[in-house]
Amino acid sequence: MKRILSLMVLMSFCINAQTNRFIYELQFKRDSTQTNFDKLNFVLDVNPKDVKFYEYYYLESDSINKVKGNYEHQYGGDFPTVKRERNSFKNQNYELINFDMFSYISEDKINWKLSTETKKTGEYTLQKATANFGGRNWTAWFNKEINIPEGPYKFNGLPGLIFELQDSKSNFIFTLVKNNKLKETYDTTGIVETFYGRKPLMISEKMREKKKKEFFNDPLANMRNNFKENMQGQMFVMGTKITNIEQFNDLSRKLQEMLKKTNNPIELNKAVKY
């Protein structure tokens, strides 16, 4: 981890009084057969009472919207946002499906197997741990001298902070790249607990699967319903300008093909079978 900033200051963090913000880089494959990686940065806020994990771009958008006093700067990705209480495996999941945000509760106990194997990363000694979670086999490297039992996404419960995390097929690779100490808990109301100021709809995991299948069956339903002939040239799908309503059928099939191809979620056992 050549790019990681010095984390020695973590040793003096008062983790019960302030927020520790960690930035993780994720290299991942939307399609498990692809050879190149997409990259995203994520924020892990370890607050006095809870933990939140969300895309870094959300944070950038929130800063702009707070300055402007509105929600004009758009955000929303295809990677779930997670919130949980400290020292808990019970996660509040926030997921965008089509143009709507949904939320559901999941209990995600991770049974880690600690190894005696260690390695040096810069000035830090990391210890190895493995686990099976979400239908994938994972290897984590954590630093037990940093007494923060957290890590990216839902990965927590180790006796130290996770620096590196990777599944056995290298579809998802997390690397800790930066840390900050915040004087107070950052208000994420506009990017986590609400979506453009609207509270997400609470659903079950079973209903989540149903909603994703409904979207797959007609991915352009909203656009088609809102299309008007006088809107020619104002709608684009996959780079294609919509000039007549007949185009939606062909573009819907192309989107369905893309959804099938990129159906490689971090929790593989929750991949929807289209």
Quickly tell me which residue has 């758009």 as its tokens. Answer: 74
Q: Measure the CA–CA gap between 167 and 139, rounded to whole angstroms.
A: 6
Q: Tally DSSP H helices, then E strands, for the chain.
A: 4, 14
Cα atoms in the 13 Å half-sphere on the side-chain side of 16: 0
Band (pLDDT 50/70/90 cuts) for residue 231 is low
The CATH fold assigned to 8-193 is outer membrane lipoprotein receptor (LolB), chain A (2.50.20)
| Per-residue pLDDT tens over the stretch 28-83 | 999 999 999 999 999 999 999 999 999 999 888 888 877 776 666 666 777 889 99
| Residue spans in the chain of domains classed CATH 2.50.20 | 8-193
For residues 10-29, average pLDDT? 76
Distance, CA of 26 to chain centre: 9
Model pLDDT, residue 9: 46
Q: Do residues 8 and 25 make contact, with C-beta atoms less than 8 angstroms apart?
A: no
| Per-residue pLDDT tens over the stretch 111-147 | 999 999 999 998 899 999 999 999 999 999 999 999 9
Q: Measure the CA–CA gap between 24 and 46, rounded to whole angstroms.
A: 13
Q: Structure tokens of 119?
A: 């390695």
| Per-residue pLDDT tens over the stretch 134-188 | 999 999 999 999 999 999 999 999 999 999 999 999 999 999 999 999 999 999 9
Instruction: Say if residue 1's pLDDT is above 60.
Output: no
Q: If we measure between CA atoms, which residue out of 101, 75, 105 comes closest to residue 92?
A: 105
Residue 191's contacts (CB-CB under 8 Å, 6 or more residues apart) are 54, 58, 59, 61, 62, 75, 81
- Work out the burial of residue 120: count CB atoms within 10 Å of its CB; fewer than 13 is exposed, 13-18 middle, 19 or more buried: exposed
